[in-house]
């Protein structure tokens, strides 16, 4: 079982603030049966400023220490904009995790996703339940699915019975369920969440390896 969307790599974005916190988060995931975790710091985010080189160096520096607790892979959560920077794909895969503005439809959506796919990436749209412009736009959802865009949903939205999250679940549109954890508190959701969604999380493994 793997979590593909986390902000555990410490000190690089608005996620874990220290190595201790990162290790506690990995421990919490391990104790619930996770075999590995993808660390996906923000890239190109309009308000959370990050530096790709610093992310890469931090990962190299801390990897051994983190892996004493749990297998970790580097990735990124790329905020898509017309002039996005190159993402860090998830581990050795060709998968990239992307996010988009939540309230207003991004006119550049199809062009940028297509562009990433032309570069050889499979695209995962992060927390699909957040986008107001996508929610019940069935033609757009179908278009994205036809273009093989994968959908990730946040576990906490499912647990909270968030209306849009339930809608995606009901229509079998979920490829990945993740914690999108920014701190240890965000992992409290696992206790309740895994009772109901463990199978759904496990199922996505075949898309990863
Ligand atoms: Fe995130």
pTM for this predicted structure: 0.97
Those residues with Cβ within 8 angstroms of residue 173's Cβ, 6 or more apart along the chain or in another chain: 128, 141, 145, 151
User: Would strands 42-43 and 122-125 be described as parallel, antiparallel, or unpaired?
Assistant: unpaired
Kindly give the distance from the C-alpha atom of residue 168 to the centroid of ligand 1, in angstroms, as a whole number: 18
d(CA 39, CA 25): 11
Question: What percent of the chain lies above the pLDDT cut of 70?
Answer: 100
C-alpha 61 – ligand 1 centre gap (Å) = 22
The CATH number of the domain holding residue 157 is 3.20.20.140
Determine the pLDDT at residue 190.
97
Report how far ligand 1's centroid is from the alpha carbon of 6 (Å).
6
Interval 187-209: pLDDT, tens = 999 999 999 999 999 999 999 99
Return the pLDDT at 103.
94
Task: Give the structural domain span for 203.
Answer: 2-208
**Is residue 136 predicted with pLDDT exceeding 90?**
no
Q: Ligand 1 mean position to 27 CA, how many Å?
A: 19
The number of C-alpha atoms within 13 Å of 91 and in the hemisphere containing its C-beta is 16
Give the C-alpha separation, 160 to 199, whole Å: 18
Q: pLDDT tens digit string along 137-182?
A: 999 999 999 999 999 999 999 999 999 999 999 999 999 999 999 9
CA of 142 to the centre of ligand 1 (A): 24
Tally of domains within the chain: 1
Going from the C-alpha of 120 to that of each of 44, 166, 204, the distances in angstroms are 20, 31, 20
The rounded Å distance from CA 18 to ligand 1 centre is 18
Each residue of 71-91: pLDDT tens digit?
A: 999 999 999 999 999 999 999
Burial (Cβ within 10 Å: 0-12, 13-18, ≥19) of residue 25:
buried
What phi, psi does 146 have (nearest 5°)? -60, -30
Q: What is the pLDDT of residue 40?
A: 99
């Amino acid at each position: 079982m793997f979590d593909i969307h986390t902000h555990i790599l410490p000190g690089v974005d608005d996620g874990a603030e220290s190595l201790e916190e990162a290790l506690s988060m990995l421990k919490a995931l391990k104790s619930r049966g996770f075999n590995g975790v993808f660390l996906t710091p923000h890239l190109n985010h309009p308000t959370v400023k990050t530096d790709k080189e610093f992310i890469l160096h931090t990962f190299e520096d801390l990897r051994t220490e983190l892996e004493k607790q749990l297998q970790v892979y580097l990735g990124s959560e790329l905020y898509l904009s017309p002039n996005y920077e190159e993402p860090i794909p998830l581990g050795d895969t060709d998968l990239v995790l992307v996010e988009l503005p939540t309230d207003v439809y991004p006119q550049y959506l199809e062009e940028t996703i297509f562009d990433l796919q032309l570069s050889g990436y499979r695209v995962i749209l992060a927390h699909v339940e957040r986008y107001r412009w996508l929610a019940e736009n069935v033609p757009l959802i179908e278009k994205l699915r036809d273009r093989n865009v994968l959908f990730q949903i946040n576990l906490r939205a499912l647990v909270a019975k968030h209306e849009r999250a339930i809608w995606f679940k009901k229509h079998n549109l979920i490829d990945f369920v993740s914690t999108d954890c920014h701190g240890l508190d965000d992992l409290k959701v696992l206790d309740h969440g895994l009772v109901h969604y463990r199978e759904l999380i496990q199922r996505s493994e075949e898309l990863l390896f």
